[in-house]
Amino acid sequence: MSNTKQFDALVVGAGVGGLYALFRLREKLGLNVQVLEAGDGVGGTWYWNRYPGCRCDVESLEYSFSFDPELEQEWSWPERYGNQPEILQYVNHVADRFDLRRNIQFETRVNNATFDRKTNLWTLKTEAGETFQAPVCIMATGNLSIPRVPDFPGLDDFQGDTYHTGLWPHEGVDFTGKRVAVIGTGSSGVQSIPIIAEQGETLTVFQRTANYILPAANGPMNREIEAKHKAEYRERRAAAYDTPFGIAGFPPPTQSALDVTPEERTAKYEQKWAEGGSISFLYSYTDLLLSDEANATAREFVHNKIRSIVKDQNVAETLCPNDHPMGTKRLVLDTGYYETYNKQHVHLVNARKNPIAGLTQKGIRLEDGTEYEFDAIVFATGFDAMTGALKEIDVRTTDGRSLTKDWEAGPYTMLGLMSAGFPNMFMITGPGSPGVKSQMILSCEQHVDWIVDCLDYMRREGQAAIEPTDESQHDWTMHVKDVADATLYPKAASWYMGANIPGKPRVFMPYVGGVQRYKAKCEEIAANGYEGFTFTAAKKPELALAGDD
């Protein structure tokens, strides 16, 4: 007897995308859904990333689900930006409120996914050897879910404690009295460094690339702002879809940075710096991400800020980013980051000039032979972004396609939603979509709504399977590239480009044409009977999707 468990739809991942997919597939289509989640709780990113200082850089009133007006009215965020424990609490609340846990199997890591063209079924195999089958497979596997530690020689020799920010121990870590190293100065490093500095006897930061870091200006929630926001929630959610980043409330810029006087520019940047937040700053002028000359004005402003905050001017110069236009790597929001370098026990090592050669039993050795001793090393070294999680699952079809092979030169997708050759496998915020360049919850909701409408259409039309054509996928992938090439984004060696993983193809992966354009394209395609996709008709009485209708 087969032990394979049968469902109408399988969802991999119980982060915000997976939870919303479960909710919609179950409540709107009446499907029998099974979510498979590697962790022992919901939350995805917010479940795994528990490092000190972990916080969302999108304001909490925006960074939340929009699908239930009562949910958004009843939840109250304590601060302007939600921290990790609060966001995880919120996601757990959503899981309980909508009774989602009964369809989630935790501690279940999917290793294999194979589509059979004869039966139109996906078979998912787990690490523990279980098998699940369904006509539909939704990969809600996240964009930043495969933590990466660089392949340093001697990695296993180090006798102290090691941590990765993306796999932080649930019980927390106390660095009191410890000599601590942090490697990496992206968002995770920048958020954790000020907190670790409060505990550690010494803190040494190894910085390879200096990033552009803006103040978050976090603080307790202003209850008047919250009340106003809540009163306007419906309009604000709709307005967010009409913006490039999926975040409402920022009037779009109207002027070039080069059309104003230096004094006007500085005044504008000062105002944005005081306000806090990255979108607000990028919205100073129309061309900050399009013209290097315009961008240089913002760069100079931030450099001067760093020089004014950090007392040791050698340290300040090392902290001044100089190898990429501002905003082309993810802008980082901080609370007290630059000030941390004014503390006597905090040291900065320029790992660009003098790279890390490897780990030793006692610490870290640089290429020039300098050795440092530590009790603990924190790897804030990022993720195999956007494609890593799908690569970890061996995705194949019985007619010989392999997703890893098809994506050898970079991801090929239609809208970041599907990949040709892999019918009925949907990605939530996959490469080629605005996902990581947008308010993620909004993009997850938009993707899930599109997928659910598509499945509903298929059921009505008696279709068993859908996949994009090679031609439409090629056109979309080229469009994603062309749009990025018209901006400054490809000038940075970022994880958007796969540049942080040795050997990964350098392809700019997110769609940066804006959420508003992207959503309109998705809707146009659906309105035209899923133009650019092909269907396989269901062989009656086998109907692709069961459920209550």
Where along the sequence are the contacts to ligand NAP (CB under 6 A)? 55-57, 144, 150, 165, 183-189, 191, 206, 208-209, 330, 351, 356, 380-383, 495, 500
Q: State the minimum distance, in angstroms, from the CB of residue 35 to ligand NAP.
A: 23
Tell me phi and psi for residue 272, to 5 degrees. -70, -40
CB nearer to ligand NAP: pick between 253 and 355: 355
Q: State the minimum distance, in angstroms, from the CB of residue 208 to ligand NAP.
A: 3
How far, in Å, CA of 499 to CA of 497, rounded? 5
Q: State the minimum distance, in angstroms, from the CB of residue 94 to ligand NAP.
A: 19
Residue 10: CB atoms within 10 Å:
24
Q: What is the 3-state secondary structure of 424-437?
A: CEEECCCECECHHH
CB nearer to ligand NAP: pick between 309 and 499: 499
* Length of the chain as a residue count: 549
Which residue has the CB atom at the shortest distance from ligand NAP? 186
CB nearer to ligand NAP: pick between 440 and 458: 440
How far, in Å, CA of 202 to CA of 131, rounded? 49
How far, in Å, CA of 66 to CA of 290, rounded? 31
Q: State the minimum distance, in angstroms, from the CB of residue 352 to ligand NAP.
A: 7
Check: CB of residue 111 under 8 Å from CB of residue 125: yes
Q: In 276-349, which ranges are continuous DSSP H helix?
A: 278-282, 292-309, 313-319, 337-340
CB nearer to ligand NAP: pick between 411 and 498: 498
How far, in Å, CA of 34 to CA of 45, rounded? 20
How far, in Å, CA of 418 to CA of 458, rounded? 15
CB nearer to ligand NAP: pick between 158 and 206: 206
| 210's tokens | 């200096």
Residue 541 preceded by cis peptide, ω within 30 = yes
Q: State the minimum distance, in angstroms, from the CB of residue 198 to ligand NAP.
A: 19
Q: State the minimum distance, in angstroms, from the CB of residue 326 to ligand NAP.
A: 14
CB nearer to ligand NAP: pick between 189 and 388: 189
Q: State the minimum distance, in angstroms, from the CB of residue 82 to ligand NAP.
A: 9
Q: Where are the beta strands (DSSP E) in 235-293?
A: none
Check: CB of residue 490 under 8 Å from CB of residue 290: no
Q: Is 28 exposed, middle or buried (0-12, 13-18, 19+ CB in 10 A)?
A: middle
Q: State the minimum distance, in angstroms, from the CB of residue 489 to ligand NAP.
A: 13
Q: State the minimum distance, in angstroms, from the CB of residue 168 to ligand NAP.
A: 11
Q: State the minimum distance, in angstroms, from the CB of residue 133 to ligand NAP.
A: 34
CB nearer to ligand NAP: pick between 122 and 273: 273
Check: CB of residue 235 under 8 Å from CB of residue 213: no
Work out whether the CA dihedral 518, 21, 399, 395 comes out positive or negative. Answer: positive
How far, in Å, CA of 374 to CA of 360, rounded? 10
CB nearer to ligand NAP: pick between 175 and 206: 206
Q: State the minimum distance, in angstroms, from the CB of residue 357 to ligand NAP.
A: 10
Strand 332-334 and strand 161-164: the pairing is unpaired
Strand 121-126 and strand 55-59: the pairing is unpaired
Check: CB of residue 179 under 8 Å from CB of residue 374: yes
* Residue 58, amino acid: V
CB nearer to ligand NAP: pick between 124 and 359: 359
Check: CB of residue 217 under 8 Å from CB of residue 360: no
CB nearer to ligand NAP: pick between 189 and 498: 189
Which strands, in side-by-side order, build the sheet including 346-350?
A: 161-164, 376-379, 179-183, 202-207, 346-350
CB nearer to ligand NAP: pick between 66 and 207: 207
